Amino acid sequence: MTSGAPDPLPRASRLLLAGAGVALVFTGLGFFLLPEYAAENFPWHVSPFVAMTIGGWTLGAGMMALDAIRGGSVTRFRPVILALWAFALLELIVVGASLGALRTDHWLTWPYLLAMVLGLASAIAGAPFLLRSEVGARTTDDDDEPMPSWMRLVFVTFTIVAGGLAIAALVLDVSNGRVVPEPLTPFSARAFAAFLGALAVGTLPLLVSRSAAPGVEYARAGLYPIALILAAAVILSDAFDFGARPGGLVYIGAYIVAALVALAILVWYRRLTGTPIWRR
């Protein structure tokens, strides 16, 4: 099986992932566009900045899900699909570990939880097929470009950095606002860790893939949450105090670097193959 082969997820898994994508987009839009209102009705205690930031990655994850469904090929979108499944699983683990802080009387809690449950159900329905098609991630055909060593190094680095940041969010004190401009509750810190950990999980197939196409799709999809999280930082830039808390520059700079690297991958692939940077 190659990256150009018609190997969509089983129908049940596709429908569940599509449902998760719609629920994520709906929830993320509320978090992102109405941060003040969202903070008052959020599943747990957050500030408007944190609500908008989480809205950015929630909306971005929804767009990733719908993009993967539209793309169809498991081989080509395996990293995206794995990241989304891991995101749903890890966020539900976070909820389970923080039940005492979960606001079940806030209405925005329920579409958020629904999205995660649908994502996990998609994983349960689709994981056996994904495992059976694993050999496709390690082969190329005449229409594929082999993954260059520099791109593999990018994904190795990203796996280490994203995984390391996820662990740091779990074990370090993030209640002082030195990097993220406002103190994070344990619930928010775990949610950040789950998001970053899911992105790291998504890169794992790319460490062995011979084809560049899955990496290109992952870079393309990753721009959705990256751009939205950066937009939240710009729109609510008053939350940052770079003089007193210069770690905010690291926060913004990391996302800018990630966006530039992702764009560089897309431009490289566009020049090499003539493929549009954004799929039609």
Ordered by start, the domain boundaries in the chain are: 11-273
Q: If 0-12 CB within 10 Å is exposed, 13-18 middle and 19+ buried, where does residue 238 land?
A: exposed
Q: Which two tokens stand for residue 67?
A: 């993009």
Q: Minimum mean pLDDT among 38-42, 139-143, 262-266, 270-274: which range?
A: 139-143
Closest CA to 65 of 110, 5, 126: 126
Q: Which two tokens stand for residue 144?
A: 């594929």
Residue 233 pLDDT > 60 = yes
Is 216 in contact with 266 (CB distance < 8 Å)?
Answer: yes
Cβ neighbours of residue 139 under 8 Å, at least 6 residues apart?
1, 2, 210, 211
How many residues belong to the chain?
A: 280
211 forms beta bridges with: 146
State what percent of residues in the chain have pLDDT above 90: 64
Find the radius of gyration of the CA atoms of the chain.
18
Predicted pLDDT at 7: 67
Predicted pLDDT at 45: 92
Average pLDDT value for the chain: 87
Q: What is the mean pLDDT of residues 202-209?
A: 93
Residue 136 pLDDT > 60 = no
Predicted pLDDT at 174: 67
The residue that leads in pLDDT, 106 or 21, is 21
Predicted pLDDT at 220: 95
State what percent of residues in the chain have pLDDT above 70: 89
Residue 137 pLDDT > 60 = no
Amino acid at 77: F
SS3 185: coil
SS3 146: strand
Q: How far out from the chain centre does Cα 124 lie? A: 19
